[in-house]
Structure formats: structure tokens, C-alpha cells
Amino acid sequence: MIRYLTAYPLSILIVIIICYLSFFQPPQTSLDEVPYIDKLAHICMYGGLTTVLWIEYLFHQSTFNYKTFLAGSICFPICLSGIIEILQSQCTDNRSGDWFDLLANATGVCIACLLGIYVWKPLYQKFKSSGSQKR
């Protein structure tokens, strides 16, 4: 448990922020008029969480295990999202669980995983190899 706290501090902070944002009563703003703005916010929140998971994983692990990591970077955020949606519908009066929010969250996770596979991991490998050549 302590290992995760030290290896993934930003990810844990983002999870706490997502949980807070998922249960507080948001103020009314002019952005409420923009169609699907809440779905875009969901995509950004969970895409951001998954991106930070990727980056922290790459910097703290010496080897890359796809099975373990993809389970943690895909399953964890989507399960978190599902649990939050269920809790919103069952435990709050000011929020409602929405399956389209879950779909938007999963979309953000998938986009971030694709970026992780095709952008973050190759960039990190390039960075890591150029750092080892300088020594």
C-alpha cells in the first residue's frame, strides 16, 4: 500500500479530486448551456487520470508489463467510474447516475491509453535510451 502511495501520488490526488467533483453540487454557470459539456468534462477527467497513471508507471517501473498495467490503467478508472455513478444514483439527492457519463469516462480512458501506447511510452523509451547513452 505504501509503495502505491509513493509511486503514484499524482494519480491518487486526481482520484481524490474526481471523487470530490463527482459528489459536490456544481454551481450554475453559462457553460451549462453548451450541449454535452459535462460529457467533455468526464472525458477530460478520466483521460487525465489515465494519462497520469501512464506517466507515473513509466517513471517508476524498470520493466513494462502490459497485462498488469493495462488492467490498472483501464479496469481501475472504469470500475471507479461505475462505482461513482452507482453511488451518485443511490446515495445523493443532488446528483444522478448516468450511463452516458460512464461511457464518456471509458472514452477518456481509451483515448489516454491509445496516447500512452503510441505517444507516452515511445517518448519515454526515447528519453530513457538517450539518457543511458550520455553516461
Written as nine digits, the cell of 22 is: 463527482
pLDDT value of residue 17: 96
Give me the chain's average pLDDT, please: 88
Contacts of 107 (CB under 8 A, 6+ apart): 43
Per-range mean pLDDT, top range of 21-25, 47-51, 57-61, 121-125: 47-51
109 neighbors 46 (Cβ within 8 angstroms): yes
Mean pLDDT of 103-119: 95
* Model confidence pLDDT, tens digit, residues 70-91: 788 899 999 999 999 999 989 8
pLDDT value of residue 132: 63
Smallest Cα–Cα separation from 85: which of 110, 112, 106, 54?
A: 106
Cα-trace Rg, the chain: 17
Of residues 107 and 99, more confidently modeled: 107
Mean pLDDT of 7-31: 89
- Proportion of the chain above pLDDT 90, given as a percent: 44
